[in-house]
Amino acid sequence: MPYNRSKALSYADQYWNIPCDDGLFWDANFPVHIDQVRAHNVMKVPWWKPAPTADGWMPELALDTNDAEIAIFTRNGGATVADVILIHPWGGMADCAHYLTCCLSAGGFPIKEISVPKLVAHLQDPKKHPNTKTLCEKVDTGAGQRVIDAGLFKPGDMIGYFNIDPSGDYGGAKQYSHSTMFVGKTFGGKTVSTDGGVTCHTIRRFPGRSGANVEDRWWLHAPGTTLYTFIHIADDDIQPNPARAAGIAGWWKLDYMGRTEYYLVNKNGTAQYTKRAPAKGQVMMSGAVGSAHWFLAPNGDVTFVWKSTGTVEFWTNGPTYKSTINGSIPGTLTKL
Protein backbone atom coordinates (compact mmCIF):
# COMPACT_ATOMS: atom_id res chain seq x y z
CA MET A 1 0.00 0.00 0.00
CA PRO A 2 1.50 3.40 -0.97
CA TYR A 3 2.32 5.88 1.75
CA ASN A 4 -0.70 8.09 2.47
CA ARG A 5 0.69 11.55 3.24
CA SER A 6 -2.71 13.00 4.06
CA LYS A 7 -3.29 10.42 6.80
CA ALA A 8 0.18 10.97 8.24
CA LEU A 9 -0.36 14.73 8.37
CA SER A 10 -3.88 14.36 9.77
CA TYR A 11 -2.44 12.25 12.57
CA ALA A 12 0.20 14.91 13.25
CA ASP A 13 -2.52 17.56 13.22
CA GLN A 14 -4.36 15.66 15.95
CA TYR A 15 -1.46 14.61 18.18
CA TRP A 16 1.12 17.38 17.81
CA ASN A 17 0.57 18.67 21.39
CA ILE A 18 -0.72 15.55 23.16
CA PRO A 19 0.68 12.05 23.68
CA CYS A 20 0.29 9.70 20.72
CA ASP A 21 -2.60 7.26 20.38
CA ASP A 22 -0.61 4.46 22.02
CA GLY A 23 -1.01 6.38 25.27
CA LEU A 24 2.64 7.09 26.02
CA PHE A 25 5.53 9.42 25.46
CA TRP A 26 9.22 8.75 25.91
CA ASP A 27 11.70 9.92 28.44
CA ALA A 28 15.29 9.47 27.23
CA ASN A 29 15.43 6.20 29.17
CA PHE A 30 11.91 4.80 29.49
CA PRO A 31 8.30 5.12 28.29
CA VAL A 32 5.81 7.07 30.36
CA HIS A 33 2.37 5.42 30.20
CA ILE A 34 -0.44 7.93 30.64
CA ASP A 35 -2.91 5.46 32.18
CA GLN A 36 -0.33 4.38 34.74
CA VAL A 37 0.62 7.87 35.89
CA ARG A 38 -3.06 8.78 36.19
CA ALA A 39 -3.53 6.27 38.98
CA HIS A 40 -0.09 5.65 40.50
CA ASN A 41 3.01 7.64 41.34
CA VAL A 42 5.09 5.42 39.05
CA MET A 43 7.74 8.13 38.65
CA LYS A 44 7.97 8.55 42.42
CA VAL A 45 7.84 12.35 42.34
CA PRO A 46 6.61 14.69 45.10
CA TRP A 47 4.18 16.59 42.87
CA TRP A 48 2.06 13.56 41.89
CA LYS A 49 -1.67 13.28 42.57
CA PRO A 50 -4.43 11.22 40.92
CA ALA A 51 -5.79 12.46 37.58
CA PRO A 52 -8.87 10.34 36.77
CA THR A 53 -10.44 10.75 33.34
CA ALA A 54 -13.86 10.96 34.99
CA ASP A 55 -12.81 14.25 36.61
CA GLY A 56 -11.83 15.75 33.27
CA TRP A 57 -8.06 15.38 33.46
CA MET A 58 -6.49 15.25 29.98
CA PRO A 59 -2.81 14.79 29.07
CA GLU A 60 -1.04 17.56 27.20
CA LEU A 61 2.43 18.58 26.06
CA ALA A 62 2.85 22.20 27.09
CA LEU A 63 5.52 24.84 27.62
CA ASP A 64 6.66 26.09 30.98
CA THR A 65 7.52 29.70 31.74
CA ASN A 66 10.95 29.19 30.14
CA ASP A 67 9.40 27.78 26.93
CA ALA A 68 10.69 24.30 27.78
CA GLU A 69 8.36 21.40 27.06
CA ILE A 70 6.66 19.61 29.93
CA ALA A 71 3.99 16.91 30.12
CA ILE A 72 0.93 17.73 32.22
CA PHE A 73 -2.64 16.78 32.99
CA THR A 74 -5.09 19.67 32.72
CA ARG A 75 -8.77 20.26 33.30
CA ASN A 76 -10.97 23.32 32.79
CA GLY A 77 -8.40 24.63 30.32
CA GLY A 78 -5.81 24.90 33.10
CA ALA A 79 -7.73 27.84 34.53
CA THR A 80 -6.01 27.70 37.93
CA VAL A 81 -2.93 26.11 39.46
CA ALA A 82 -5.23 23.42 40.88
CA ASP A 83 -6.23 22.50 37.33
CA VAL A 84 -2.70 21.46 36.31
CA ILE A 85 -0.76 18.35 37.37
CA LEU A 86 2.84 17.96 36.24
CA ILE A 87 3.62 14.55 34.76
CA HIS A 88 7.19 15.12 33.57
CA PRO A 89 9.51 18.16 33.56
CA TRP A 90 11.66 19.23 30.63
CA GLY A 91 14.72 17.25 31.68
CA GLY A 92 14.75 13.91 29.89
CA MET A 93 11.83 14.56 27.51
CA ALA A 94 12.71 12.73 24.27
CA ASP A 95 9.62 11.83 22.26
CA CYS A 96 10.56 13.03 18.76
CA ALA A 97 11.39 9.67 17.12
CA HIS A 98 8.42 7.96 18.75
CA TYR A 99 6.05 10.69 17.53
CA LEU A 100 7.47 10.61 14.02
CA THR A 101 7.12 6.84 13.72
CA CYS A 102 3.51 7.09 14.91
CA CYS A 103 2.84 9.66 12.17
CA LEU A 104 4.52 7.51 9.52
CA SER A 105 2.64 4.42 10.66
CA ALA A 106 -0.66 6.29 10.47
CA GLY A 107 0.17 6.98 6.83
CA GLY A 108 0.68 3.29 6.09
CA PHE A 109 4.45 3.28 6.56
CA PRO A 110 4.78 0.99 9.61
CA ILE A 111 7.89 1.55 11.67
CA LYS A 112 8.74 1.64 15.37
CA GLU A 113 11.79 3.37 16.75
CA ILE A 114 12.57 5.61 19.72
CA SER A 115 16.21 6.41 18.89
CA VAL A 116 16.82 9.13 16.31
CA PRO A 117 20.16 7.70 15.04
CA LYS A 118 18.54 4.28 14.64
CA LEU A 119 15.47 5.80 12.97
CA VAL A 120 17.62 7.58 10.37
CA ALA A 121 19.65 4.42 9.73
CA HIS A 122 16.47 2.37 9.48
CA LEU A 123 14.90 4.69 6.90
CA GLN A 124 18.12 4.77 4.88
CA ASP A 125 18.45 0.97 4.74
CA PRO A 126 17.48 -0.10 1.18
CA LYS A 127 16.79 -3.66 2.32
CA LYS A 128 14.16 -2.47 4.79
CA HIS A 129 12.84 0.49 2.82
CA PRO A 130 13.69 0.36 -0.90
CA ASN A 131 11.36 3.29 -1.64
CA THR A 132 13.07 5.88 0.55
CA LYS A 133 15.53 8.32 -1.01
CA THR A 134 18.05 10.36 0.96
CA LEU A 135 17.93 13.55 -1.10
CA CYS A 136 20.65 15.25 0.91
CA GLU A 137 22.73 14.14 3.87
CA LYS A 138 24.30 16.34 6.56
CA VAL A 139 24.00 19.58 4.60
CA ASP A 140 23.70 23.14 5.87
CA THR A 141 20.63 25.36 5.98
CA GLY A 142 21.18 26.94 2.56
CA ALA A 143 21.50 23.58 0.84
CA GLY A 144 18.43 22.25 2.63
CA GLN A 145 16.38 25.24 1.52
CA ARG A 146 17.40 24.65 -2.11
CA VAL A 147 16.11 21.09 -1.89
CA ILE A 148 12.81 22.23 -0.38
CA ASP A 149 12.39 24.96 -2.98
CA ALA A 150 12.91 22.39 -5.75
CA GLY A 151 9.58 20.86 -4.71
CA LEU A 152 10.79 17.25 -4.57
CA PHE A 153 10.77 16.94 -0.78
CA LYS A 154 7.11 16.47 0.14
CA PRO A 155 4.87 17.01 3.16
CA GLY A 156 5.04 13.82 5.20
CA ASP A 157 8.77 13.28 4.56
CA MET A 158 11.34 13.22 7.37
CA ILE A 159 14.23 15.47 8.43
CA GLY A 160 17.08 14.25 10.64
CA TYR A 161 19.07 16.84 12.64
CA PHE A 162 22.76 16.06 13.12
CA ASN A 163 24.33 18.01 15.97
CA ILE A 164 27.71 19.71 15.42
CA ASP A 165 27.44 22.13 18.35
CA PRO A 166 29.75 21.27 21.29
CA SER A 167 27.07 22.65 23.62
CA GLY A 168 24.23 20.81 21.85
CA ASP A 169 22.02 18.00 23.08
CA TYR A 170 23.41 14.82 24.66
CA GLY A 171 26.59 16.50 25.81
CA GLY A 172 27.36 17.94 22.38
CA ALA A 173 27.72 14.49 20.82
CA LYS A 174 28.11 14.57 17.05
CA GLN A 175 25.10 12.46 16.18
CA TYR A 176 21.49 12.66 15.05
CA SER A 177 19.75 14.25 18.00
CA HIS A 178 16.32 15.23 16.63
CA SER A 179 13.77 14.32 13.96
CA THR A 180 10.75 16.05 12.45
CA MET A 181 8.10 15.54 9.79
CA PHE A 182 7.97 18.10 7.00
CA VAL A 183 4.54 19.77 6.75
CA GLY A 184 5.29 21.95 3.72
CA LYS A 185 4.83 25.61 2.99
CA THR A 186 1.03 25.41 3.20
CA PHE A 187 -1.40 23.40 5.31
CA GLY A 188 -5.18 23.38 5.17
CA GLY A 189 -5.10 25.85 2.31
CA LYS A 190 -3.13 28.44 4.28
CA THR A 191 0.52 29.47 4.07
CA VAL A 192 2.28 28.29 7.21
CA SER A 193 5.83 29.23 6.22
CA THR A 194 7.40 30.57 3.06
CA ASP A 195 10.43 28.39 3.86
CA GLY A 196 8.56 25.24 4.93
CA GLY A 197 7.45 24.13 8.37
CA VAL A 198 7.77 20.97 10.46
CA THR A 199 5.92 19.12 13.17
CA CYS A 200 7.50 17.20 16.05
CA HIS A 201 7.48 16.44 19.74
CA THR A 202 9.99 17.68 22.25
CA ILE A 203 9.48 20.54 21.71
CA ARG A 204 5.94 20.05 20.39
CA ARG A 205 5.52 21.91 17.14
CA PHE A 206 3.03 22.38 14.34
CA PRO A 207 3.29 25.31 11.92
CA GLY A 208 1.05 28.19 12.91
CA ARG A 209 0.27 26.75 16.35
CA SER A 210 3.61 26.28 18.09
CA GLY A 211 3.61 29.67 19.78
CA ALA A 212 5.46 32.91 19.20
CA ASN A 213 8.60 31.75 21.00
CA VAL A 214 8.87 28.34 19.32
CA GLU A 215 10.54 28.05 15.93
CA ASP A 216 8.73 25.69 13.57
CA ARG A 217 10.37 26.59 10.29
CA TRP A 218 12.23 23.49 9.19
CA TRP A 219 15.78 24.37 10.26
CA LEU A 220 14.87 24.97 13.97
CA HIS A 221 18.42 25.70 15.12
CA ALA A 222 20.92 28.53 14.72
CA PRO A 223 23.24 28.34 11.68
CA GLY A 224 26.43 26.41 12.31
CA THR A 225 24.95 24.17 15.01
CA THR A 226 23.16 21.53 12.95
CA LEU A 227 23.41 19.63 9.68
CA TYR A 228 20.29 18.26 7.99
CA THR A 229 19.37 15.00 6.29
CA PHE A 230 16.23 14.91 4.11
CA ILE A 231 14.66 11.46 3.64
CA HIS A 232 11.93 11.29 1.00
CA ILE A 233 9.39 8.47 0.79
CA ALA A 234 9.04 7.84 -2.94
CA ASP A 235 5.97 5.56 -2.95
CA ASP A 236 3.76 8.14 -4.65
CA ASP A 237 6.30 9.66 -7.03
CA ILE A 238 5.26 9.82 -10.66
CA GLN A 239 7.10 7.13 -12.54
CA PRO A 240 9.15 8.50 -15.45
CA ASN A 241 8.25 7.71 -19.03
CA PRO A 242 10.43 4.67 -19.88
CA ALA A 243 11.40 6.01 -23.29
CA ARG A 244 12.46 9.38 -21.87
CA ALA A 245 14.32 7.70 -19.01
CA ALA A 246 16.19 5.49 -21.48
CA GLY A 247 17.11 8.61 -23.44
CA ILE A 248 18.97 10.21 -20.55
CA ALA A 249 20.56 7.03 -19.19
CA GLY A 250 24.27 6.67 -19.87
CA TRP A 251 27.38 8.83 -19.75
CA TRP A 252 27.32 12.64 -19.98
CA LYS A 253 30.00 15.30 -19.86
CA LEU A 254 29.23 18.54 -18.02
CA ASP A 255 31.32 21.68 -18.52
CA TYR A 256 30.72 24.62 -16.18
CA MET A 257 32.78 27.39 -14.57
CA GLY A 258 35.97 26.03 -16.14
CA ARG A 259 35.38 22.54 -14.75
CA THR A 260 34.58 19.24 -16.43
CA GLU A 261 32.73 16.40 -14.75
CA TYR A 262 31.40 13.09 -16.05
CA TYR A 263 28.01 11.73 -15.06
CA LEU A 264 26.73 8.19 -15.24
CA VAL A 265 22.94 8.45 -15.22
CA ASN A 266 21.19 5.19 -14.33
CA LYS A 267 17.70 4.12 -15.37
CA ASN A 268 16.76 3.47 -11.73
CA GLY A 269 16.71 7.18 -10.88
CA THR A 270 20.24 7.47 -9.51
CA ALA A 271 23.40 9.06 -10.87
CA GLN A 272 27.07 9.40 -9.95
CA TYR A 273 29.78 11.74 -11.09
CA THR A 274 33.54 11.59 -11.42
CA LYS A 275 36.25 13.90 -12.70
CA ARG A 276 37.75 11.14 -14.85
CA ALA A 277 36.52 10.57 -18.40
CA PRO A 278 35.11 7.07 -18.93
CA ALA A 279 36.94 4.58 -21.10
CA LYS A 280 35.32 3.44 -24.32
CA GLY A 281 32.60 0.93 -23.54
CA GLN A 282 32.77 1.56 -19.78
CA VAL A 283 29.39 0.79 -18.18
CA MET A 284 30.24 1.07 -14.46
CA MET A 285 31.78 3.89 -12.43
CA SER A 286 34.51 3.39 -9.88
CA GLY A 287 35.67 6.10 -7.52
CA ALA A 288 32.55 8.23 -7.77
CA VAL A 289 32.92 11.68 -6.20
CA GLY A 290 29.21 12.11 -5.52
CA SER A 291 25.78 10.57 -6.03
CA ALA A 292 22.31 11.90 -6.78
CA HIS A 293 18.68 11.02 -7.26
CA TRP A 294 17.10 12.36 -10.42
CA PHE A 295 13.46 13.13 -11.18
CA LEU A 296 12.03 13.27 -14.69
CA ALA A 297 9.14 15.64 -15.38
CA PRO A 298 6.45 14.76 -17.97
CA ASN A 299 7.87 17.39 -20.33
CA GLY A 300 11.31 15.78 -20.21
CA ASP A 301 12.98 18.24 -17.82
CA VAL A 302 15.21 16.53 -15.25
CA THR A 303 16.08 17.58 -11.70
CA PHE A 304 19.09 16.12 -9.92
CA VAL A 305 19.62 16.45 -6.16
CA TRP A 306 23.22 15.70 -5.20
CA LYS A 307 23.26 13.96 -1.84
CA SER A 308 26.41 15.18 -0.12
CA THR A 309 26.07 18.86 -1.05
CA GLY A 310 22.35 19.48 -1.55
CA THR A 311 23.19 20.84 -4.99
CA VAL A 312 20.08 21.07 -7.16
CA GLU A 313 20.80 20.72 -10.86
CA PHE A 314 18.12 21.31 -13.46
CA TRP A 315 18.31 19.98 -17.01
CA THR A 316 16.04 21.82 -19.43
CA ASN A 317 14.71 19.62 -22.22
CA GLY A 318 15.11 20.78 -25.80
CA PRO A 319 17.03 19.88 -28.93
CA THR A 320 19.83 19.30 -26.43
CA TYR A 321 19.72 19.34 -22.65
CA LYS A 322 20.99 22.45 -20.86
CA SER A 323 22.17 22.38 -17.24
CA THR A 324 21.57 25.01 -14.57
CA ILE A 325 23.17 24.45 -11.16
CA ASN A 326 21.61 25.91 -8.01
CA GLY A 327 19.37 28.13 -10.06
CA SER A 328 22.07 30.33 -11.56
CA ILE A 329 25.19 28.51 -12.83
CA PRO A 330 24.90 27.46 -16.48
CA GLY A 331 26.51 24.29 -17.79
CA THR A 332 27.03 22.64 -21.17
CA LEU A 333 26.02 18.98 -21.50
CA THR A 334 27.32 16.47 -24.02
CA LYS A 335 25.98 12.92 -24.31
CA LEU A 336 28.90 10.49 -24.66
At 240 the pLDDT is 85
Domain residue ranges in the chain: 5-88, 96-233, 242-335
* pLDDT values of the chain reduced to their tens digit, one per residue, 336 residues: 789 999 999 999 999 999 999 999 999 999 999 999 999 999 999 999 999 999 999 999 999 999 999 999 999 999 999 999 999 999 999 999 999 999 999 999 999 999 999 999 999 999 999 999 999 999 999 999 999 999 999 999 999 999 999 998 888 999 999 999 999 999 999 999 999 999 999 999 999 999 989 999 999 999 999 999 999 999 999 888 888 889 899 999 999 999 999 999 999 999 999 999 999 989 999 889 999 999 999 999 999 999 999 999 999 998 889 999 999 999 999 999
At 301 the pLDDT is 95
Q: Tell me yes or no: is domain 242-335 CATH 3.30.310.
A: no
At 307 the pLDDT is 98
At 160 the pLDDT is 98
At 170 the pLDDT is 86
Which three-class secondary structure string do you get for the chain? CCCCHHHHHHHHHHHCCCCCCCCEEEECCCEEEHHHHHHCCCCCCCCCCCCCHHHCCEEEEEECCCCCEEEEEECHHHCCHHHEEEEECCCCECCHHHHHHHHHHHCCCCCCCCCHHHHHHHHHCCCCCCCEEEEEEEECHHHHHHHHHCCCCCCCCEEEEEECCCCCHHHHCCCEEEEEEEEECEECCEECCCCCEEEECCCCECCCCCCCCCCCECCCCCCCCEEEEEEEECCCCCCCCHHHHHHHCEEEEEEECCEEEEEEECCCCEEEEECCCCCCCCCCCCCCCEEEEEEECCCCCEEEEECCCCEEEEEECCCCCEEEECCCEEEEEEEC
At 244 the pLDDT is 87
